[in-house]
Chain A
């Protein structure tokens, strides 16, 4: 069965420091992976998709099939990055499995 694990419930960094939010998955097929973000009092929204290989708001994520990971990274965190981040896995069959989320706090 497919599963998404985000080992850190809370992550706190100082402004300007690098940040990495970890995500590991288990799925025997070819996964489609996403990062979703939820800012305070806002709805859950897509941050980036692995297939797009894009950088959004300075964030990037690389799919490592050998380590079954899809960690989210940003070299210099900003205070406005403080939010709840969810890693999600889709098997392409109209489903989506979410991790439990990591709350990122960027301190001034």
Chain B
């Protein structure tokens, strides 16, 4: 009964070839997040959706885009992947609880750029 699902778990793409990672949730949470995590580093927030409102982090490259067609799904599009974009990409969701946005994470998608 996975609550946050990410597909695929492993993705290989070529340098410059657009790639889309997907995330779905069964929790009906109104907030969805995308993080990038490189080896031995902290997960870095790329952007999040609060319902349909998109919130981009200031230092997220333009190469990264996101779509959220409905409550359950959220996509991460990398328009022209570079070698430096190889990383684990984590999707998370949250719902209001005691004013604190506890996050529920998916298993991640490991992206390799060749």
Contacts and interface: CB of A to CB of B under 8 A. Distances in A.
Interface string B71-100: 000000000000000000010101000111
Contacts of B55: 94
Contacts of A73: none
A6 B103 CA distance: 20
Interface residues of B, number: 26
Contacts of A42: 107
B101 interface: yes
Contacts of B8: none
A99 B105 CA distance: 16
A26 interface: no
Contact of B101 (A45, A52, A86, A90): A90
A7 B105 CA distance: 24
- Secondary structure at chain B's binding surface: helix, strand, loop or mixed? strand
A95 B105 contact: no
Given A43-B105, A43-B108, A46-B103, A86 B42 contact: yes
A105 B10 CA distance: 27
B64 interface: no
A51 B102 CA distance: 11
Nearest to B100: A32
Contacts of B101: 90, 92, 94, 96
B100 A49 contact: yes
Interface string B42-67: 11110010100001000000000000
- Please provide the 5 A-B residue pairs with the shortest distance between their CB atoms, ordered closest to farther: A98-B42, A44-B105, A100-B42, A43-B107, A98-B43
11 contacts: A9-B40, A44-B90, A46-B102, A49-B102, A52-B98, A86-B42, A95-B48, A96-B45, A97-B45, A98-B43, A99-B42
Given A32-B100, A43-B107, A101-B40, 12 more contacts: A32-B99, A44-B105, A46-B103, A49-B100, A49-B102, A92-B99, A94-B48, A94-B101, A95-B48, A96-B45, A97-B42, A98-B43
